[in-house]
Amino acid sequence: MIGRIGCVILAGGESRRFGGDQHKLLARLGERPLLQYAIDAATRSHAMSCTLVVGACAQRLLDVVDPRRCAVVRNASWREGIASSLRAGLANHLGDEACIFMVADQPLVQTADLDRLITAHRADRDAIVALQSGTIWGTPMLLPRRFFAALARLRGDAGAKRIAQKRGVRLRLISALSTDAFADVDTPADLDRLDQMEPRT
């Protein structure tokens, strides 16, 4: 029997490096705000439920994007680091068989990438499954329920990769469809560069 697979989008950060008054996740890439790419990829995937975690500038983000089928969690502790957003999102998925965690500023991650993580999990339900491009691997990352307690203990800026790197943990790496899947946005220059790559979900 196949259990529920959830997905958490981590969008709680402050976006200080982007500069100006605009949060980077509200910057437009093509015809959509940057955050909308992650939402669209997650909600179109085979994940059965999705949670969007917002923190800094929460209402500004929610006023612009369309969460669609995402549950929205406001992380009041976002200043404590990404682990606080991870825990806030995980709380919505404690009954799921596994959960994908993805950051909100990688618009070249596609729906099919998330579905490939799910397919790999169904073949090996004890392993952590992560996306890989070349020598780089990381989020999106799928963790089975048996790792949820360890996720809940993370603090500061420690993310799911901290658990995947532990000795004895079985890790499966799945090639991303785009060689630029891990391209993210921290500055306006990053956004300009991505604008030439035609991101899609």
Checking if the pLDDT of 17 tops 70, the result is no
The C-alpha atoms of residue 107 and residue 34 are separated, in whole angstroms, by 7
The owner of tokens 């910057």 is: 27
Checking if the pLDDT of 123 tops 80, the result is yes
Checking if the pLDDT of 145 tops 90, the result is yes
pLDDT of residue 1: 52
| Averaged confidence pLDDT in the chain | 90
pLDDT of residue 184: 86
* pTM of full prediction above 0.75: yes
Any idea which of 65-69, 93-97, 102-106, 153-157 has the lowest mean pLDDT?
65-69
Rounded average pLDDT over 99-110: 96
pLDDT of residue 54: 93
Strand-pair category, 128-133 with 136-144: antiparallel
In order of their start, the domains of the chain are 5-195 (3.90.550.10)
Rounded average pLDDT over 34-55: 94
pLDDT of residue 201: 55
3-state secondary structure of 13: coil
Please provide the DSSP assignment of 60-118 as one string.
Answer: HHHHHS--TTEEEEE-TTGGG-HHHHHHHHHTT-TTSSEEEEEETT-TT--HHHHHHHH
Q: Which of 7, 19, 5 is nearest to 191 (CA)?
A: 19
Percent of the chain with pLDDT over 70: 94
Query: How far apart, in Å, are the Cα atoms of 183 and each of 64, 108, 138, 153?
Result: 23, 7, 12, 28
Q: List pLDDT tens digits, range 131-144.
A: 999 999 999 999 99
The C-alpha atoms of residue 120 and residue 122 are separated, in whole angstroms, by 5
